[in-house]
Amino acid sequence: MIALPTAAGRVEDYRLTGIPLTPRAPTRPLTRTAFAAAHVVSDPLRERNPWDTRPAVDWEGTLAFRTSLWDQGLGLAEAMDTAQRGMGVDWPTALELIQRTMVAAKVHPMKPRVACGAGTDHMALADLTTADKIAAAYQTQAEAIESAGGQLILMASRAFPAMGAGPDVYRSVYRKLIDGAREPVILHWLGDMFDPALKGYWGSEDVAKASDFVLDLIGENPGKVDGIKISLLDQAHEEAFRARLPEGVRLYTGDDFNYADLIAGDGKHYSHALLGIFAAIAPAASQALDALAAGDLDTYHRLLKPTVPLSREIFRAPTRFYKAGIAFLAWLNGQQRHFIMPAGFQSSRDIVHYAEVFRLADQANLLADPELAVRRMRILAELNGVY
- Whether 105 maps to a domain, the answer reads yes
- Whether 13 maps to a domain, the answer reads no
> What residue numbers bound the domain in which 315 lies?
29-344
Q: Angle at which helices 297-304 and 282-293 pack, to 10 degrees?
A: 170
Q: Please state the φ and ψ torsions of residue 45, each to the nearest 5 degrees.
A: -75, -20
C-alpha to C-alpha distance for 308 and 258, rounded to whole angstroms? 7
The whole-number average pLDDT for the span 100-126 is 97
pLDDT tens sequence across 203-250: 999 999 999 999 999 999 999 999 999 999 999 999 999 999 999 999
pLDDT at 55: 87
0.85 surpassed by pTM: yes
Whole-Å CA distances, 94 to 36, 78, 118, 145, 308: 16, 9, 10, 10, 29
The whole-number average pLDDT for the span 316-320 is 95
Please enumerate in sequence order all residues whose Cβ is within 8 A of that of 125, keeping only pairs 6 or more positions apart, or say none. 158, 159, 162
- Whether 352 maps to a domain, the answer reads no
For 51, counting Cβ atoms within 10 Å of its Cβ (0-12 exposed, 13-18 middle, 19+ buried), the class is: exposed
- Whether 362 maps to a domain, the answer reads no
Of residues 54 and 295, the one with the higher pLDDT is: 295
pLDDT tens sequence across 33-82: 999 999 999 999 886 776 666 889 999 999 999 999 999 999 999 999 99
CATH at 333: 3.20.20.70
- Whether 354 maps to a domain, the answer reads no
- Mean pLDDT (the chain) is 96
For residue 342, pLDDT beyond 70: yes
For residue 192, pLDDT beyond 80: yes
pLDDT tens sequence across 367-384: 999 999 999 999 999 999
Domain total for the chain?
Answer: 1
pLDDT at 218: 98
Contact 355, 329 (CB under 8 A): no
Q: What sign has the CA pseudo-torsion 330, 332, 334, 340?
A: positive
3-state DSSP helix/strand/coil % of the chain, to nearest 5: 50, 15, 40
Picking from 254, 222, 225, 220, the residue whose alpha carbon sits closest to that of residue 238 is 254
Dump the DSSP string for 131-165: HHHHHHHHHHHHHHHHHHTPEEEE---THHHHTT-
The whole-number average pLDDT for the span 182-186 is 97
Please enumerate in sequence order all residues whose Cβ is within 8 A of that of 147, keeping only pairs 6 or more positions apart, or say none. none
C-alpha to C-alpha distance for 53 and 45, rounded to whole angstroms? 17
For residue 181, pLDDT beyond 90: yes
For 264, counting Cβ atoms within 10 Å of its Cβ (0-12 exposed, 13-18 middle, 19+ buried), the class is: middle
pLDDT at 112: 97
- Give me the amino acid identity at 84: Q
C-alpha to C-alpha distance for 288 and 298, rounded to whole angstroms? 9
- Whether 281 maps to a domain, the answer reads yes
The whole-number average pLDDT for the span 14-21 is 97
29 cis-preceded (ω within 30 degrees of 0):
no
pLDDT tens sequence across 114-156: 999 999 999 999 999 999 999 999 999 999 999 999 999 999 9
pLDDT at 86: 87
Reported as a pLDDT band with limits 50, 70 and 90, residue 196 is very high
- Whether 244 maps to a domain, the answer reads yes
Q: Could you give the count of Cα atoms lying within 13 Å of 379 in the half-sphere of its Cβ?
A: 12
pLDDT at 53: 63
For residue 314, pLDDT beyond 80: yes
User: In the chain, what is the straight-line distance between the N-terminal and C-terminal CA atoms, in Å?
Assistant: 14
pLDDT at 49: 75
- Whether 15 maps to a domain, the answer reads no
pLDDT at 338: 97
Largest CA distance in the chain: 61
- Give me the amino acid identity at 19: I
- Give me the amino acid identity at 345: F
